[in-house]
Chains A and B, each alone.
Chain A
Amino acid sequence: MNDSVLENKLSPRAQKAWLISEVIGIVIGFIVLAVLFWLDFHFAWPVWIGWILIALTAYTVLDAVWSLIKPKYLYESWRYQVDEEYIQLSYGILKKEWVTVPIAKVQSISTRQGPILRIYQLREIKVETMGSSHAIPALDEQVAIQLKDTLAEYAKLKEVDE
Chain B
Amino acid sequence: MMRYHPLTILYRIYQFVKNNLIIALLLFVIKRDSDFWLFEYGRYAFLVIVVWRLIYIVWSWFYETYEWEERTFYLKEGIFTKNTSSIPFSKIQNVTRQTTIFHKVFRLTSITFETAMDGVDDAITFEVVSKKHADFLLKLVEVQTTEPDETNLKENQEGTELDGSESDVENPDPKIKQDNESKVVHFTPTKRDLWKASFLSFSYLAFIPLLGGLFDEIQSFLPEEKELDGLLDQFLASKWLILLLVVVGVAIAVAIGVTRTMIRYGKYEISSNNTHIFINRGVLNESYFSIEKQKVQGLEITQSFLKRIVGLAEVKLVSSVNPNSEQSAVDVNSLYPFLPMNQAHELIQQLLPGYHVESGMKRLPRKSLWIKLLRPSWFWLLATGALFYFKPRVFGLESAWWIISVILFVWIYINRILDYVHTQYLVTNDQLQWRRGGLTSRLFITKRQKVIEMSISQSFVQKKFHVASLSTVNRSSPIHVEGIEDVPVEFATSFHNWYLERHDEVQYHHIP
Give the interface of A toward B (CB within 8 A): 1, 3-4, 85-86, 92, 94-102, 104-105, 107, 129-132, 156-161
B508 and A102 form a contact (CB under 8 A): no
Give the interface of B toward A (CB within 8 A): 118, 151-152, 155, 294, 449, 452-460, 463, 468, 473, 475, 478-479, 489, 492-493, 496, 499-500, 502-503, 506-512
* B477–chain A nearest beta-carbon distance, Å: 9
B489 and A1 form a contact (CB under 8 A): yes
With known contacts A1-B489, A1-B493, A157-B511, A98–B456 Cβ distance under 8 A: yes
With known contacts A1-B493, A161-B155, A131–B479 Cβ distance under 8 A: yes
Interface majority SS (helix, strand, loop, mixed), chain B: mixed
Bound Cα distance A159, B455 (Å): 20
Residues on B with C-beta less than 8 A from A107 are 118
With known contacts A1-B489, A3-B493, A130-B479, A100–B509 Cβ distance under 8 A: no
A102 and B458 form a contact (CB under 8 A): no
A99 and B508 form a contact (CB under 8 A): no
B508 and A100 form a contact (CB under 8 A): no
Residues on B with C-beta less than 8 A from A86 are 500
A159 and B453 form a contact (CB under 8 A): no
With known contacts A94-B460, A100-B454, A160-B509, A131–B468 Cβ distance under 8 A: no
A4 and B493 form a contact (CB under 8 A): yes
Bound Cα distance A4, B493 (Å): 8
Residues on A with C-beta less than 8 A from B507 are 159-160
Bound Cα distance A85, B501 (Å): 10
The residue among B454, B455, B459, B478 with the most chain A CB atoms within 10 A of its own CB is B455
Residues on A with C-beta less than 8 A from B502 are 85, 102
* B296–chain A nearest beta-carbon distance, Å: 11
A132 and B155 form a contact (CB under 8 A): no
Q: Select B152's contact among A4, A130, A161, beta carbons within 8 Å.
A: A161
Bound Cα distance A73, B155 (Å): 45
A1 and B492 form a contact (CB under 8 A): yes
Residues on A with C-beta less than 8 A from B510 are 156-158
A100 and B500 form a contact (CB under 8 A): yes
The 12 sampled A-B contact pairs (Cβ below 8 Å) are: A1-B468, A1-B493, A85-B503, A100-B499, A102-B502, A104-B506, A104-B508, A157-B508, A157-B509, A157-B510, A157-B511, A159-B449
Q: Which residue of B lies closest to A85 (CB)?
A: B503
Bound Cα distance A99, B470 (Å): 10
Bound Cα distance A92, B478 (Å): 26
B473 and A132 form a contact (CB under 8 A): yes
Q: Select A131's contact among B460, B478, B506, beta carbons within 8 Å.
A: B478
Bound Cα distance A4, B460 (Å): 18
Bound Cα distance A34, B38 (Å): 42
Residues on A with C-beta less than 8 A from B496 are 4, 98, 100
B457 and A98 form a contact (CB under 8 A): yes
Bound Cα distance A94, B456 (Å): 14
A96 and B509 form a contact (CB under 8 A): no
B452 and A130 form a contact (CB under 8 A): yes
Known: A96-B459, A129-B452, A158-B508. 16 other contacts (CB 8 A): A1-B456, A4-B493, A92-B457, A99-B455, A102-B452, A102-B453, A130-B118, A131-B473, A131-B475, A156-B512, A157-B510, A158-B509, A160-B151, A160-B506, A161-B155, A161-B294
